[in-house]
Structure formats: C-alpha cells, structure tokens
Structure 1
Amino acid sequence: MRHPHVPKSRLSGMKDGYKIRLRRAGYRLACRVDGDGVLVTVLAIGRREGNEACAVAAGRTGSGD
C-alpha cells in the first residue's frame, strides 16, 4: 500500500483502524495498519450492508463505538 493512513477511511473507536471499500463486489475490509504501513492486518471482510465488517473488527480488537 502506498498510503495506508487515509483519514477519510479511518474507523472510529479503533486505533489505527481503516476500511477498504470494494464497491463493485459489495464488500468492505476492516484492517489495522501498524507503523508506517509495513504491516497491514485484515481484521474482517464483510458485506457493505450495516457495516458488518467494521462491527466484527471492533469486536475482535476489543474496541467499539
């Protein structure tokens, strides 16, 4: 990833958490970026409806809104 820290894609309530949107497929990836983007950990993949991936990721990291 060239620019892993995108302010518009930041997940609220999750330190270093971001979402990546796959619009055509209808999916979202919730990920955590460690350091300068050397390590990107995918926490969840889910459908766009209801922010499913974001909710699962928050549960896995113990953080929430």
Structure 2
Amino acid sequence: MGAALYGLALLACPVGMGLMMWFMLRGKKAPDALTAMAPADKEELTNLRTEVDRLRASRSGASAQPGDAGVR
C-alpha cells in the first residue's frame, strides 16, 4: 500500500504538468481578440489610442518644475 501511494505521488507532478500544457495549448487556438472585434470596436480602439497618444504628448510638453522629477 505504501509503495502504491509513493508511486502515485511520484507521478502526480509529471501528469499534472502534462495536463496543464495540454490545456494551455488548447487555449491558443482561440481567435485573436483584435481580429474577432467588430469594425465599430476597432474604430473606437483606434480613437482611444489616438487620444492616449495626444494626452501623453501634451503631458510631456508641459513645463516641468525642478522638484517634479519622477512624479507621475
């Protein structure tokens, strides 16, 4: 009985790892999120990225005070 439990414990790690790898590979077959988006969603995403870029540019262009280094 003890040898059977020892063998089971010894196989638990490799079998569990194999199962995790198999489940992760199955998940990769799902379509890419951007290709599955509706055209309206893609347009909204593009608009939001443009707005973020514009805000970052305006923020980096603002005059920095001597004590503001590293403050976000």
Aligning the two structures, in what range does the TM-score lie when normalised by the shorter sequence?
Answer: under 0.3
If asked which structure has higher relative contact order (CA below 8 Å, sep 6+), I would say 1
Please, what TM-score do these two structures have when normalized by structure 2?
A: 0.21
Please identify the structure whose Cα radius of gyration is greater. Answer: 2
Which protein is richer in helix relative to its size? 2
Which protein is richer in strand relative to its size? 1
